[in-house]
Amino acid sequence: MVRNIDLAEQLKNDFLEYSYQVNVDRSFCAIDGLKSCQRLSLYAMYKNKFTHNKPFVKSAKVVGIVIGEYSPHGDTATYDCIVRMTQPFANNQTPCEMHGNGGSLSDPSPAAQRYTEVRLSEFGEELFKDIEISVPYIDNFDSSTKQPVLLPTPVPLLLINGCDGIGVTLATRVLPYNFTEVSETYKNYLINGKIDKVLYPDFPTGGQIVTCEAEQIMSTGKGKTVLRARASIDKKNRQIIFEELCYQTNVSTLYSKLIENVAKGTFSEIKNIQNATGKDGVKLIIEYKRGTEPEALLEKLYKKTDLQKTYTSNHNMLVKKTPRLLSLEQYFELLYKFQDSCIKFRCHNELKSYQQKIEKSNGLIFANENIEPIIKLIRSSNGKAEAKEKLMAGFALNEMQAEAIVSLPLYKINKLDGAELIKNRNDMMESFNAIQQKMNDKELRKQELIEKLEALIKKYPSKRKTSVDNLKA
């Protein structure tokens, strides 16, 4: 059968669909601070109990689970995604950890997935607290299992680890910030309703911020940050030593370019360059010639090499599956609304569970108080279904109460402890009322968020790695 179509209209619709999928599933982070592949990779580890207190698992096994059950990405893209989440030089808080060669600042390429092993980190497990009852689940691509829409992250993860992505017509870059500073600022925002501190990026590789449009980034979501490698000058040995480089700088590539520039005569003041980077960290040693002014050479190196970099913040984030440019206050407000919805969703599910348990407990209490006629009725019935119908008709019990009674063997009904049943029922009622109160009280829910943040700040204290002293105007 031949069908006539408008080619221009068809191409337009196909491109719009493609653009949507790229932006939503690949390029941008959602409110939980994760891209789709990151979220699904972490969830695969959580669901299969590849946790920090269990042995490491082959990376190839995790990749297979992710692409087989959840993610539309290929194995290489999925493995690269997992590797990056394990790299301490790429993240301020790594949600998973790797055993084996997971890449380094000298060579970020990891060993093949058949050689490395991976599991959730302790911090990564914090992202899954009460997940089964805190967020909605949807079908995976073939409806064979379920996956969470988002993770109930208790911290501003998007700012802590940052995000880079290039979508269709849009791009995002969120620089990483210090865990303690961001969490404290968010906590104070929840308490006071305002942001009381200027936040500066804190890169996992350290360095020194020279200039930063921090207030502009906070108010508009856009701005520039200039970062320098941290240097020390040893005049006695005529050396400039770099032990902290700029974020996302490959040591080997930088070293090769420096050698190339010296050969070209760009840095005629340099006598020798040594890459002493190893297990103890980054160390790049530049020996300069006699009579050279080291401070002037250092400024020249900053100007002409990647020992100084400019990063442009562009805080685009998915809001209801649509990329939006957000200020810090807008991000905090959306994060709070999301976390509050997670608590309400959890409270709703807990109330439902307690309601069922209380109904069953009431049925057992009734059975204990009317044990002789109930046992007689059950013995006279032809099977469980008939006994259940007779209990509901003869004693005005609801279906849940009747089910609780007929599910117990007769000898257990005879041994029910009435006082213990009433105590358990009353304890459950107390818990039910407390949860219902939280469900209906915004301030109680907010207090829970604040207490979670305080506990995590105490558990994962984080000192700044990037200095912000002597900022230039």
Please report the beta strands in 16-75, taking only residues with DSSP state E, as ranges in sequence order: 57-58
Which residue intervals of 50-120 are DSSP H helices?
Answer: 59-69, 75-86
Distance CA 246, CA 257 (A): 15
Supply angle C-alpha 142, 147, 338, rounded to 5: 140
Query: Would you name the residues annotated as active-site residues?
Result: 115
Distance CA 151, CA 308 (A): 36
User: What are the φ/ψ torsions at residue 240 (nearest 5 degrees)?
Assistant: -110, 125
Of 257, 367, 260, 259, the residue nearest 306 (C-alpha)? 257
User: What are the φ/ψ torsions at residue 322 (nearest 5 degrees)?
Assistant: -125, 125
Distance CA 403, CA 397 (A): 10
Report the first-to-last Cα separation within the chain, whole angstroms: 69
Pair of tokens at residue 397:
């019990």
Task: State the virtual CA torsion across 187, 190, 195, 197 in degrees, nearest 10.
Answer: -20
Distance CA 297, CA 240 (A): 9
Of 360, 356, 370, the residue nearest 408 (C-alpha)? 360
Q: Which sign does the torsion angle of CA 234, 235, 239, 245 carry?
A: positive
Q: Residue 411 belongs to what H/E stretch?
A: helix 410-413
Pair of tokens at residue 402:
């009747």
Q: What is the DSSP letter of 305?
A: S
